[in-house]
């Protein structure tokens, strides 16, 4: 048998997915990925931008992480859906203070950017008694 020492193990609450109260939180981007929407999406297999964001250092709930999903505009969308998707992407870029000088941007430039996130609390689909956080919007920091 191997004995493993983990500092702080005794004092841990054992809750992996912590839900924070619904509020506006200062955040920092800690991960950026380009992915495809899932099979249960309205438009399966279409491109989306996935951001992992964490509550900024020094803030209450520091280090708690959330995931933000932004579906990118594509040819299967109606004109109204496409415009909304375009507006969502642009507002995200502007919220992080990045310049837009064309129809392309380097998603890696989002890493370590700061803004505020509007976070909601909702019942989990698989267990309505468990509250989960969802990112409702990312806006310029105050």
So what's the pLDDT on residue 53?
95
50: enclosing H helix or E strand: strand 47-55
pLDDT in tens, the chain (142 residues): 888 888 887 877 766 667 899 999 999 999 999 999 999 999 999 999 999 999 999 998 988 999 999 999 999 999 999 999 999 999 999 999 999 889 999 999 999 999 999 999 999 888 888 889 999 999 998 7
Q: Are 73 and 84 in contact (CB under 8 A)?
A: no
So what's the pLDDT on residue 11?
79
Residue at token pair 């438009």:
43
| Reported pTM | 0.84
So what's the pLDDT on residue 17?
65
So what's the pLDDT on residue 16?
64
d(CA 93, CA 138): 10
38-55 burial code (b ≥16 CB/10 A, e <16)? eeeeeeeebebbebebbb
């Amino acid at each position: 048998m191997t004995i493993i020492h983990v500092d702080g193990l005794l004092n841990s609450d054992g809750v992996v997915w912590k839900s924070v109260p619904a509020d506006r939180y200062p955040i920092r981007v800690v991960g950026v990925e380009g992915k495809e929407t899932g099979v249960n999406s309205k438009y399966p297999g279409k491109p989306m931008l996935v951001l992992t964001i964490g509550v900024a250092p020094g803030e209450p709930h520091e280090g708690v992480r959330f995931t933000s999903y932004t579906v990118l505009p594509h040819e299967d969308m109606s004109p109204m859906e496409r415009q909304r998707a375009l507006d969502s992407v642009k507002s995200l870029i502007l919220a992080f203070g990045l310049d837009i000088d064309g129809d392309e941007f380097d998603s890696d430039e989002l890493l370590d950017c700061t803004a505020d996130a509007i976070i909601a609390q909702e019942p989990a689909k698989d267990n309505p008694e468990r509250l989960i956080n969802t990112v409702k919007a990312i806006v310029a920091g105050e």
